[in-house]
Amino acid sequence: MRMRSSWNRVVYRLWSPLYDPLLARVFRPGRVRAFELLALEPGERVLLLGVGTGADLPLLPVGVQALGVDLSEAMLARARAKLPLPGREIELRVGDAQRLDVESGAFDAAVLNLVLSVVPDPVSCLHEALRALRPGGRAVIFDKFLPDGQRGTLGRRIANQVSTVLGTDITRHFGEIAAGAPCSIERDEPSIGRGMYRVIVLRRT
């Protein structure tokens, strides 16, 4: 099945009451590591793409300003229930991570946790995140990718037919997504799932 934003709205409305109880604890180590590497400083502006139910929000350090964007109003409703967080200035907004309604160069940092495997067009999503960053700004990605140059097994490709219906693609390669993007890779390390998930730090060039 080819992923579509219209279908994702339906899927993530269904996921919204289930995501935190079923998956928040599973993904927490990868999220925590992503924020460790991003090393946000007080006064910085950070953009969270695909903020979902707001699992990343408690990891924001005191003193930052954050904008969280998500396609699903149902997921954002769960995120809003986590606010306010003392010492953080957080705005949540419905929006498409593939076509961001933000000014270019407006942010110091961006968080793309579990979004590049979800959006129909991950290349546009990454380019939009980088466009939103000031020159020298950084982005962190926690997500699942196949090793570059490795084709998924037949079993994985069959499983992907099911996973895309559920709202995520398990056959993407980060190298293909980032090819030609205005960034450099500063760190790329294995995370949960025996390295199926990775944490990647980018610098806007």
Q: pLDDT of 12-31, one tens digit each? A: 999 999 999 999 999 999 99
User: What's the confidence (pLDDT) of residue 1?
Assistant: 65
38-to-41, 144, 176, 189 alpha-carbon distances in Å:
9, 18, 23, 13
- C-alpha 116: how far from its chain's center? 6
Q: State how far the Cα of 159 lies from the Cα of 142, in Å rounded to an integer.
A: 21
In tens, the pLDDT along 41-86 reads 999 999 999 999 999 999 999 999 999 999 999 999 999 999 999 9
pTM for this model (two decimals): 0.96
Compute, in degrees rounded to 10, the torsion defined by CA atoms 188, 113, 40, 87.
-160
**pLDDT higher than threshold 90 for residue 2:** no
Residue type, 199: V
Q: What domains sit in the chain, N to C, each tagged with a CATH number?
A: 5-204 (3.40.50.150)
| Average of per-residue pLDDT values in the chain | 96
pLDDT class of 3 with cuts at 50, 70, 90: confident
- Name the pairing type of β-strands 197-204 and 107-113: unpaired
Average pLDDT over residues 131-138: 98
In tens, the pLDDT along 174-183 reads 999 999 999 9
Query: For residue 77, what is the enclosing H or E element?
Result: helix 73-80
Residue 64 dihedral angles phi and psi, to the nearest 5°: -95, 160
Mention every residue, 6+ apart, whose C-beta is less than 8 A from residue 39.
none
Handedness of CA 124, 126, 127, 131 (dihedral sign): positive
User: What's the confidence (pLDDT) of residue 16?
Assistant: 97
Beta-strand runs (E) in 4-156: 45-49, 65-70, 89-94, 107-113, 133-144
